[in-house]
Amino acid sequence: MEKIERTAEIKRTTKETDISIELNIDGSGKTILDCPIGFMSHMLDTFAVHGLFDIKMKATGDLEVDQHHLVEDIGIVLGQCFKQALGKRQGIRRVGNCMYPMDETLARCAVDFSGRSFLVFDGALTGIPLVSQDDTFQTDVIEDFWQGFVSQAGCALHLDILRGRSDHHKIEALFKAAARALRDACEADPRASLRIPSAKGTIA
């Protein structure tokens, strides 16, 4: 059987942001990321490595306002890419989950590519910005990123921090757990062939 290429390329331009993303779900974790927010580049690189997704992205936005618009819109475009690349979701496992330990932090993710968008997010973040050499990162926008993602990907996503101290570790562990869970959910089920993974015969 000929292997179906599960790739996508989406460009989204608004008055606030300009974002283009290329995604290969069946990649090897390679990234080319052009993003003015260093922490988001770090998270997306981690996400790609642990999910074995290839991601190429160029993103700009109105950072003179704040980081919310750009981070949320990156989530939206990445979600659109997953939806496009998965198509009718034939033969996929559909559901995935992961418990990811990162030092003192334990993160949990569960995902269902049901076609219905729903986010449950309990990141236990302090709200204190992360400070780097040249900038700070608004940690509250991480929930907005994942809300944007699920709104377009058509999945139910539950992200929880069970314990932890460092906000950096909490966010990174959530991205790693999500990558692993999404990787499992997107993988082909050898027993399912091209069957739609739903008793209804279609993904809502």
Decide: helix, strand or coil at residue 82: helix
- What pLDDT sits at residue 1? 39
Burial class of residue 38 (count of CB atoms within 10 Å of its CB; 0-12, 13-18, 19+) = middle
- What pLDDT sits at residue 193? 78
Give this prediction's pTM. Answer: 0.95
| Residue ranges per structural domain of the chain | 7-186
Report the interhelical angle of 38-51 vs 167-186 (nearest 10°). Answer: 40
Exposure pattern of 135-154 as b/e (b: 16+ CB <10 Å)? eebbbbbbbbbbbbbbbbbb
Q: Pick 7-186's CATH classification: 3.40.640.10, 2.30.42.10, 3.10.50.40, 3.30.230.40.
A: 3.30.230.40
Confidence class of residue 3 from pLDDT cuts 50, 70 and 90?
A: low
**Spatial separation of the C-alpha atoms in residues 192 and 119, rounded to whole Å:** 27
More confident residue, 117 or 192: 117
Instruction: With CA atoms as reference, report the closest residue to 8 among 19, 18, 27, 21.
Output: 21
100's tokens: 């990811």
- Is residue 204's pLDDT more than 70? no
- What pLDDT sits at residue 190? 87
Residues 27-83 have pLDDT tens digits of 999 999 999 999 999 999 999 999 999 999 999 999 999 999 999 999 999 999 999
201's tokens: 């015969």
Instruction: With CA atoms as reference, report the closest residue to 74 among 142, 143, 145.
Output: 145
